[in-house]
Amino acid sequence: ATNTEEFGRFLAQNNLLNVATAPKVYRKYTTKKVFTMERLRGISMLDEETISKVTKDPEMGQQAIISALNIWTTSVMKMPWFHADVHAGNLLLLDDGRVGFIDFGIVGRVSEKTFKAVNELSVALSLGDYRGMAQALCNMGATDDKIDIDKFGHDLELVMRRIASVQPDMTIAEMQDGSVAGSLDFDESEVTNLLLELVDITEDNGLKLPREFGLLVKQSLYFDRYLKIL
């Protein structure tokens, strides 16, 4: 409940309530076992109805995902914690066009060292500089061994290319009225497996990364897949 309220205050303080919201918490009816909050009227980002709307207005779906990504990234930089479970069920496209963030049960906290290294990693990733990515990860992690940066960079390149090549699943069905409906989806376990593969590579190269980095990367993979789908 406290996390939900804090995220709502973050949105208000940054003038973001016109593009996103979090449920209002009804403290009077909330206990240690019962959480009572406002009902947000909308649908999951990857619900079939959402895809149908996006088909008619692609810009709407793209803007919703971009807004969600920008807000989440801003929260990572400005809040003491970040939403660490932004799978499709926890992001809603509301009836009024805004993005609804729900379920703040899993959050992560980023240390200054990790945050600095993540910024370095982001720059290297945008440039396709895999050696730079390897160096950023080394700056973030703990190790007693000397890391072969060139080998580590090559290993990262292989897994990043696999991540980029992953495609969503598409389902087409004929409705009773003769119209055709389509939906796009992805296997959530696939996101986890990609993350585990990345972790394996870092460990194989003698590096141990902080837990919060894994949480950050997983959320980033979610958003990457949403952008591909919508």
Q: Is the dihedral of CA 65, 67, 73, 79 positive or negative?
A: negative
| Catalytic one of 47, 57, 85, 95 | 85
Active site residue 155: no
DSSP 59-111: HHHHHHHHHHHHHHHHHHHHSSSEE----GGGEEEETTS-EEE---SSEE---
> In the chain, where does DSSP find H-type helix?
2-13, 48-56, 58-78, 112-127, 130-140, 149-165, 188-204, 211-229
Please give the C-alpha separations between residue 61 and each of 20, 42, 50, 100, 172, in angstroms, as whole numbers.
14, 13, 8, 13, 19
Residue partners of 103: CB distance under 8 A and separation at least 6: 85, 89, 90
How far apart (Å, rounded) are the C-alpha atoms in residues 174 and 189? 28
List residues with catalytic annotation.
85
